[in-house]
Amino acid sequence: MRVITGKARGRKLISPDGDNVRPTTDTVKESVFSIIQFSVEGSVFLDAFAGSGQMGIEALSRGAEKVVFVDNNRRSLKVTKDNIRLCGLEENAEVVSGDSISFMTSTKERFDIVFLDPPYKTGLLQKALEKAVGIVKEDGIIIGEYPKDDTVPEEIGDFCIRKTYKYGMINVSIYAHKDVVG
């Protein structure tokens, strides 16, 4: 795992040990950031289910104003903090220890980009999508990463899938407000 571009370009990131973290591949990460490249700079980005923090770190490296990293695994949180420090991006990073669903239920903050990559086959993505519509700005986007044999709703509240991208065994769906989708 490495930071692809921006201030921390080329930095190698640490990945948590164990089977409970499945880092997004560099190919998928690069594709996601190509899709959202014009939305990242100056954005407030949520990396829910942060794992190693690599998606939020990529956003910070590319000029996000602020990234909130949320995870409930202590090992993942330590790795996320270490990776943020390794890349020199502490100033604009907030690391939250706790359940991502609870965080999205209780936060007053509004985000431009919400990235959701929970453990697969748990039903967490569908729950997280429902909560994300309450914290994303009307002109913001929600990104869900999930296995290709899983399903996600076409619409959640006022948000609907703009497009789904397929990368082998992984799908990535981009949600936008129905009035913004063209």
Q: What is the pLDDT of residues 95-110, one digit of tens each?
A: 999 999 999 999 999 9
**Is the separation of the CB atoms in 70 and 103 below 8 Å?**
yes
Measured distance CA(39)–CA(63) in Å, rounded: 10
**Is the separation of the CB atoms in 146 and 28 below 8 Å?**
no
What pTM was computed for the model?
A: 0.93
pLDDT score of 24: 72
pLDDT score of 109: 97
The answer on pLDDT for 82 being more than 80 is yes
Specify the pairing of strand 159-167 against strand 66-71: unpaired
DSSP states of 120-164: TTSSHHHHHHHHHTTTEEEEEEEEEEEETTS---SEETTEEEEEE
pLDDT score of 181: 54
Could you report the per-residue pLDDT of 5-59, keeping only the tens digit for each?
888 887 888 887 655 566 677 788 889 999 999 999 999 999 999 989 999 999 9
- For each of the domains in the chain, give its residue range(s) and CATH number, in order of start: 26-177 (3.40.50.150)
Measured distance CA(5)–CA(158) in Å, rounded: 33
**Is the separation of the CB atoms in 116 and 132 below 8 Å?**
yes
The answer on pLDDT for 66 being more than 90 is yes
pLDDT score of 20: 57
pLDDT score of 55: 95
